[in-house]
Structure 1
């Protein structure tokens, strides 16, 4: 290493680097040019005398004239001519003028050593940034950065997220079956009950009295009916005879009418055949009318005359017509006798009891019997009180202790907590995805339950925004005691699932007039690929055609991207 001093106004190559970086954001670069003694910069002396390298390790002595940071002149100029560096240069020049006004204090050895390390680290950072920028921009112009990710093979689930109100599938309104005083009301609105719990009890004394009266009424009604039947039973004989004869006559009349119809058909058919034969003979006669003297013409004339006679005097037809007259007389006799039997039947019924009176008696007896029996059964059942038929919540209570209720009065309302569901709505965009039988997750508060789509309404409705939506019911298949009716529940419906399929982020899929496509980066070149998609989740989408696992797709597509352009990638 040379100890020779350089001329006062000459600069080392290191100083040239500092001059290039003048105005850069490296702190104290201007001051370093002014420091040192003699004709050699202070930071060069320190480099000669120090045993430490910039990174703190031991190093050999460094000759300033041989220490260079290889920054090409063109690239240095490109860096310092940016707008940002110009602004910083102006700022540093102002700071330089202010510092010159102040008295400079000489730096001690430790400060110089620290300053030297700062400048060397800064130079190294600038060089790294410069080469990174050079790699991106290169000689062919600036490239575009794009975010990419690889297509993967995996599992995807398509869902619909919505919310609705928890409600019951089973509601039971309890009405009073008896006209009895209320004894005890054991529940209030909002109470949870179990199947078999007694909800309301009737007054025992009043119930016993009403039960006895109901039993006596049944006995009285039956006795009155029996007396009426016995007093009008003497005409049953005539009535039975008439019924038997009418039945026989109905059969005889039917048989006779059928035979008469057959005779009429045969007579009609025979006459039709003779007429047809005569028509054929007339046609043949016309064919021979130009030969009136021929034997053929003469024979045809005779046959025509014979046919005409047969049509008027056919023996077979005459016999059938005579037989028809006999059966018509027989049919008339049967009908007349049947009319007599009908009259006998009516007379017998009238003598026993008029039709209206008999119907009234029957109806009245049945009505009274049913009413009395139902009343007695209801009174007997009321002894057990009003009992819950299922687990649920009492949502309404109308009965009052000590009050008398009329039959048919509503006592309370119970809604099941075993058969519960969530009523939700879906838009037209999700209607094609949802189907009865699909599984769902239902979240009520902090509890999660299994669900299943059980009903999709066939008529749309309007929501608060005026949009058309379709009501859907999600049955909770594993309810417990924590379910509260009327609260809001979050629902996630699983509409489709696929396994071992190619997946990419939803943000990578684009659409144009020809359909769906993605941009794929191949050797830093943007390639446009047409794809066919399947189901999708919130973040991923299935690709059924056009893409393979591992291909790098662009996820931050912007309008300035074009197929064939050079890009630099950053993995997501």
Structure 2
């Protein structure tokens, strides 16, 4: 438009010049003169491109605030569009519910710690019990073996004593028979026969007790003890499962976990009943141990006491006890001592075998102690409870702090009201910074190549001016409603103040590329054709077209990089003249007159 304006003025000036030429030639009636044209010289100077644009003032920084807690809003200290300062408390919360949740969480932590310690202690006790049982097995096995050998020795000693007693009685009877009458001999023989029958009956009863009754009892006692150990193990596992279910229910009291806790408690109760019943059956059987038969129940007369130490199975010589043959007839050998020793040894052996079976069952049973994974799960459950408590404590702290402005700015998108109940993560409002402000502009396709990040700019907002800098250029073009291609850019404002309002229009003047100490021409003398830029010069008095290469340009001047050098004269305006016509440069005074003529023509 400026070039076009200059062309119009040039035409008027040319007409005036032509009129002046006519006046010269016509008025004097002398020889015709060449037409004159105004010229200007190419100069060395600076050229700076300036890109003008308009845009909207926006905030470079904005933050949307969300509720950090589930609580009721006690106070809201702003409205949409309010300007607030950094540190201003904007929202306050009611703390009653948050503090109650914190107390509940702390109690859950303590309960979880007790449950965890209890489960670990029980697990350690079960583990130690199994280790102790394994260490006792070898000792008990050796004790059982020694007791079996001792019992066998006692039985052998008893048999020897009984056989010797029978032999001595028979010898005594025979000696007495030699001195006694036939009737006495018959009576002695009958008595010896009865004694032998008693010995055989006792031996049979003792054999039945040792080979059938006692082993059957010991086997049944061992089975009942094994059943009791297994029942106790089942109870320990059920108790551990109940503790874990209880800890899980405390961490998450859902219906599913509550049902799992009820099932675990029912299983533990049943296992405890089964364990108690198995224990009673074992104790009853242990108290009902069969008694070893006594010889006195089978002999018709008593004998002298047989002395034994209970360990070596030795006794007095039968002859020493009986004395002379006549004493043997009227008395019998007393084997109650050895018999008592056998009974005691059998009872001790049964106890040892029972203890051995018990310890083997404990040592070989599935461990009721917690596995590494179960301990880790309990620890994690306890940690989760602690984290919940920590979270509850932190929420109380967050609620006490409320929400403060992180920077100076303007409130927008308000979604919270005083007295309303908000949930954690709920959007409350947005704060747009007024400390970091910029202008969003659109640059036309003719100018976007000139705009670069880092270029300075002047910004006008209302009647106030600011300085700024291009900070961002989009590489994605858009099209406006007229179909023109635009490139968006951002110009930051250096020192925004309280007079800036977000969302208003702003004018931006970007100082683009600058060339210093280059050849320049006035913008009005440079023409643009389909083959490039050109201007007109007088070459040997002839108007000649001169192709030139241009660089950057401003409103008033154009950089020339080729075709024209400093000092060259360029025709300002052809007026009605054309290329190839002869002409001469108008003198400086004439140029001033031409300018006056231009102004007169414009008027």
**361, 370, 390: which one aligns with 2:387:** 370
Give the match for residue 405 of structure 1.
Answer: 422
| Native 8 Å contact 1:511 1:517 kept in 2 | yes
| Native 8 Å contact 2:548 2:561 kept in 1 | yes
**465, 470, 480: which one aligns with 2:487:** 470
| Native 8 Å contact 1:508 1:557 kept in 2 | no
Query: If you compute each CA radius of gyration, which structure gives the higher value, 1 or 2?
Result: 2
| Native 8 Å contact 1:461 1:470 kept in 2 | yes
TM-score by length of 2: 0.49
Q: 1:230 to 1:479 in 2, by over 3 A?
A: farther
TM-score by length of 1: 0.52
> How far apart are residue 512 of structure 1 and its match?
4.3
Structure 2 SS opposite 1:390: coil
Structure 2 CA distance for aligned equivalents of residues 195 and 187 of structure 1: 13
Q: 1:559 to 1:417 in 2, by over 3 A?
A: farther
Give the match for residue 446 of structure 1.
Answer: 463
Give the match for residue 198 of structure 1.
Answer: 89
Structure 2 CA distance for aligned equivalents of residues 460 and 142 of structure 1: 54
Question: What are structure 1's unaligned runs of at least 5 residues?
Answer: 1-126, 238-346
Q: How does 1:124-523 map to 2 (within 5 A)?
A: 131-132=23-24, 134=26, 139=31, 143=35, 146-228=37-119, 352-353=370-371, 355=373, 361=378, 364-512=381-529, 515-521=532-538
Q: Deviations over 1:56-105 (max 9, x none)?
A: xxxxxxxxxxxxxxxxxxxxxxxxxxxxxxxxxxxxxxxxxxxxxxxxxx
> How far apart are residue 387 of structure 1 and its match?
0.4
Give the match for residue 553 of structure 2.
Answer: 536
| Native 8 Å contact 2:81 2:410 kept in 1 | yes
Structure 2 CA distance for aligned equivalents of residues 369 and 197 of structure 1: 33
2:569 paired with 1:552 = yes
Structure 2 CA distance for aligned equivalents of residues 460 and 490 of structure 1: 21
Structure 1 CA distance for aligned equivalents of residues 53 and 127 of structure 2: 75
Q: 1:493 to 1:533 in 2, by over 3 A?
A: same
Question: What are structure 2's unaligned runs of at least 5 residues?
Answer: 1-18, 129-364, 596-603
Q: 1:373 to 1:204 in 2, by over 3 A?
A: closer
Structure 2 CA distance for aligned equivalents of residues 382 and 139 of structure 1: 103
Structure 2 SS opposite 1:398: coil
> How far apart are residue 177 of structure 1 and its match?
0.9
Structure 2 SS opposite 1:382: helix
| Native 8 Å contact 2:55 2:439 kept in 1 | yes
> How far apart are residue 488 of structure 1 and its match?
1.1
Q: 1:513 to 1:394 in 2, by over 3 A?
A: closer
Q: Deviations over 1:224-248 (max 9, x none)?
A: 45555555568999xxxxxxxxxxx
Structure 1 CA distance for aligned equivalents of residues 456 and 571 of structure 2: 34
Superposed CA RMSD in Å reads: 3.6
Higher relative contact order (CA 8 A, sep 6+): 2
Q: 1:224 to 1:507 in 2, by over 3 A?
A: farther
Q: 1:419 to 1:130 in 2, by over 3 A?
A: closer
> How far apart are residue 466 of structure 1 and its match?
2.8
Runs of 4+ in 1 over 6 A off after TM superposition: 127-130, 135-138, 233-237, 347-351
Q: How many residues align?
A: 335
Structure 2 CA distance for aligned equivalents of residues 235 and 137 of structure 1: 140
Structure 2 CA distance for aligned equivalents of residues 519 and 152 of structure 1: 16
